[in-house]
Amino acid sequence: MTIKQSWAEMDKTAARKNGLAFLSKKFKTCKKPLKDVSELKDYLECMYTGAAQYDDPQEYPVSKACEGIHGASEGTDTLGRIFSGIVALRWENSCHDVDEFLSDETLDSS
């Protein structure tokens, strides 16, 4: 439910003045500010899809992401919970590259 709610919350936040800059800071994106909310949503979609597709029993990425989302501190807002899921899955990095899954190597079909 939190993930579903987060899409609308991201759109609402992005539509505000300085909303993309806020999302860039909240999600510690390497690209500052985001040019469009779709960059963040595409990143999250790839992360969730990859976790589900490659739910390796030794690492259980789906469980890690869900535990991060639902294990966030009490009172954490929806976007904060989603970020906790990113950290659980991708670690606490200085920044998160929203273009990570869209590199030339990733898109190269040869």
**Tens-place pLDDT, residues 39-75:** 999 999 998 988 888 877 777 888 988 999 998 888 8
Q: Specify whether the CB–CB gap between 99 and 31 falls below 8 A.
A: yes
Q: Specify whether the CB–CB gap between 23 and 13 falls below 8 A.
A: yes
Cα gap 69→72, rounded to integer Å: 6
The model's pLDDT over 82-91, given as tens digits with 9 standing for 90+, comes to 999 999 888 7
Phi/psi zone of residue 72: left (φ > 0), alpha (ψ -120 to 50 degrees), beta? beta
- Beta bridge partners, 96, equal 29
85: its two tokens:
């899921």
pTM above 0.75, yes or no: yes
Q: Is the pLDDT of residue 20 over 50?
A: yes
